[in-house]
Structure 1
Amino acid sequence: MNIKYIISKTITFIGIVIPIMLFNGIFGDENLLIGVMSVALMLMLLERDLTVHPVKHTLQLVGLNLVMGIAAFIATSNLWLAIPINLVLIFILGHSLLYDLKKPIYMPFILQYLFILFTPITLNQLPKRLLALVVGALIIMLVQILVNRNKLTQAGDKLIEQVIQSLMKKIEDMRKGISDSEDEIAGLLRELRKMISDRRKDELHLTEEARIKLSLSVALEKIALSLEKMDYIDLQKECVEDVYQFLDLAKDVFKDKTKIEQINHLGKNLVSKYDKEKVSDQVAVEMGYNIAFLNDSLQELHMLDKDKYNLVKNVEEVSTRYQCLFNKKYIKIDTVKFSFATRLAIGITLTTFMSQYFNLAQGKWMVFTILALVVPIYEVSKQKSKDRVIATITGGILALILFSIFTDTLTKVILLLLVGYINMYFTRYRYTSILYTTLAIGAASLAGEIQVLTINRIIFVIVGLVMATLINKLILHYNLEDNNNYLIHMYQATIDEMKKEAQFLMEGQASKYSIKNLLIITSMIEDKLLMNNQILEDNQIEVKLDESRALISDIYHFYICKSQAEVYQ
Structure 2
Amino acid sequence: MKEFLPKLIPNTIMFLVITVFISIFKSVFGEINSSVGVTIVVALLVLMQKDLTKKPIENFLKLLTINVFLGIVSHISYGNMWIGIVLNFITLGLIGYLLTKDLNKSIILPYGLQYLFMLYKPVQGIDFTNRMIALIFGAVLIMASQYIVHSSKKEANAVGEVEDRNKLEAEICVAKYDNDEYKKFRLFEKDIYIHKKRALYAIKLGALTSITAFVTQYLGLAQGAWMSYTIFSLTEIYSEDTKVRSKKRVEGTMIGGLIVIISFLVLKDDTSRTLIILLAGYLNPFFKDYKHIIILVTISSVAPLALSHGSIFAVGQRLMFVIIGAILALIVDKLIYVTKHEDNFNKMASIKI
Cross-structure match for 2:211 = 350
Q: Give the Cα separation in 2 of the matches to 1:8 and 1:136.
A: 23
Displacement of 1:14 in angstroms is 1.0
Q: Where does 1:482-521 land on structure 2 (aligned, <5 Å)?
A: 482-488=343-349, 491-492=351-352, 495=353
Q: Give the Cα separation in 2 of the matches to 1:22 and 1:150.
A: 28
Aligned partner of 1:476 among 337, 340, 351: 337
Cross-structure match for 1:378 = 239
CA contact (8 A) 1:152 1:196 kept: no
Displacement of 1:198 in angstroms is 7.1
Q: Give the Cα separation in 1 of the matches to 2:221 and 2:289.
A: 31
Aligned partner of 1:413 among 252, 256, 274: 274
Q: Give the Cα separation in 2 of the matches to 1:324 and 1:429.
A: 32
Cross-structure match for 2:187 = none
What secondary structure does 1:424 align onto? helix
Q: Which has the larger radius of gyration?
A: 1
Displacement of 1:44 in angstroms is 1.4
AA partner of residue 143 (structure 1): S
Displacement of 1:415 in angstroms is 2.4
Displacement of 1:407 in angstroms is 4.7
> 2:82 aligned with 1:75, yes or no?
no
What secondary structure does 2:333 align onto? helix
Aligned partner of 2:41 among 11, 24, 39: 39
Q: Where does 1:84-483 land on structure 2 (aligned, <5 Å)?
A: 84-100=86-102, 104-151=106-153, 153=155, 195-196=160-161, 325=176, 330-332=192-194, 335-483=196-344
AA partner of residue 192 (structure 2): Y
| Higher RCO structure, 1 or 2 (CA under 8 Å, sep 6+) | 2
Aligned partner of 2:15 among 6, 13, 16: 13
Which ranges in structure 2 are unaligned for 5 or more consecutive residues?
A: 185-190
Residues 58 and 409 (structure 1), Cα distance of their counterparts in 2 relative to 1, 3 Å cut: farther
Aligned residues with identical type, % of pairs: 32
Q: Give the Cα separation in 2 of the matches to 1:27 and 1:355.
A: 26
Displacement of 1:41 in angstroms is 1.2
Deviations 1:230-254 (A, max 9, x none): xxxxxxxxxxxxxxxxxxxxxxxxx
Q: Give the Cα separation in 2 of the matches to 1:123 and 1:435.
A: 35
Displacement of 1:458 in angstroms is 0.6
AA partner of residue 34 (structure 1): V
Which ranges in structure 1 are unaligned for 5 or more consecutive residues?
A: 157-191, 205-317, 496-569
AA partner of residue 312 (structure 2): Q
CA contact (8 A) 2:40 2:138 kept: yes
Cross-structure match for 1:176 = none
Q: Give the Cα separation in 1 of the matches to 2:103 and 2:24.
A: 37
AA partner of residue 478 (structure 1): T
What secondary structure does 1:332 align onto? strand
Q: Give the Cα separation in 1 of the matches to 2:347 and 2:272.
A: 53
Residues 30 and 198 (structure 1), Cα distance of their counterparts in 2 relative to 1, 3 Å cut: farther
Q: Give the Cα separation in 1 of the matches to 2:140 and 2:163.
A: 20
Q: Give the Cα separation in 2 of the matches to 1:400 and 1:153.
A: 54
Q: Give the Cα separation in 2 of the matches to 1:481 and 1:76.
A: 40
CA contact (8 A) 2:306 2:313 kept: no
Q: Give the Cα separation in 2 of the matches to 1:336 and 1:323.
A: 14
Q: Give the Cα separation in 2 of the matches to 1:371 and 1:16.
A: 24
Q: Give the Cα separation in 1 of the matches to 2:6 and 2:324.
A: 43
Q: Give the Cα separation in 2 of the matches to 1:384 and 1:345.
A: 19
Deviations 1:473-495 (A, max 9, x none): 11133333433345446x53xx3
Deviations 1:323-346 (A, max 9, x none): 98499993526x210111111111
What secondary structure does 2:194 align onto? coil
Displacement of 1:366 in angstroms is 1.0
What secondary structure does 1:393 align onto? helix
Residues 58 and 407 (structure 1), Cα distance of their counterparts in 2 relative to 1, 3 Å cut: farther
Displacement of 1:106 in angstroms is 1.2
Residues 347 and 425 (structure 1), Cα distance of their counterparts in 2 relative to 1, 3 Å cut: same
What secondary structure does 1:51 align onto? helix
AA partner of residue 440 (structure 1): S
AA partner of residue 12 (structure 2): T
Displacement of 1:97 in angstroms is 0.6
Residues 406 and 330 (structure 1), Cα distance of their counterparts in 2 relative to 1, 3 Å cut: farther
Displacement of 1:406 in angstroms is 3.5
Q: Give the Cα separation in 2 of the matches to 1:354 and 1:144.
A: 40
CA contact (8 A) 1:49 1:149 kept: no
Cross-structure match for 2:58 = 56
Displacement of 1:365 in angstroms is 1.1
Taking structure 1 as the reference length, the TM-score comes to 0.55
What secondary structure does 2:13 align onto? helix
Residues 198 and 366 (structure 1), Cα distance of their counterparts in 2 relative to 1, 3 Å cut: farther
CA contact (8 A) 1:95 1:338 kept: yes
Q: Give the Cα separation in 1 of the matches to 2:270 and 2:56.
A: 42
Aligned partner of 1:30 among 5, 29, 32: 32
Cross-structure match for 1:535 = none
Deviations 1:413-448 (A, max 9, x none): 332221111111111111111111111102333443
Displacement of 1:87 in angstroms is 0.5
Q: Give the Cα separation in 1 of the matches to 2:343 and 2:6.
A: 44
Displacement of 1:363 in angstroms is 0.7
CA contact (8 A) 2:103 2:237 kept: no
What secondary structure does 1:330 align onto? strand
CA RMSD of aligned residues (A): 2.9
CA contact (8 A) 2:246 2:326 kept: yes
Q: Give the Cα separation in 2 of the matches to 1:475 and 1:11.
A: 44
Deviations 1:124-143 (A, max 9, x none): 42211100111122212221
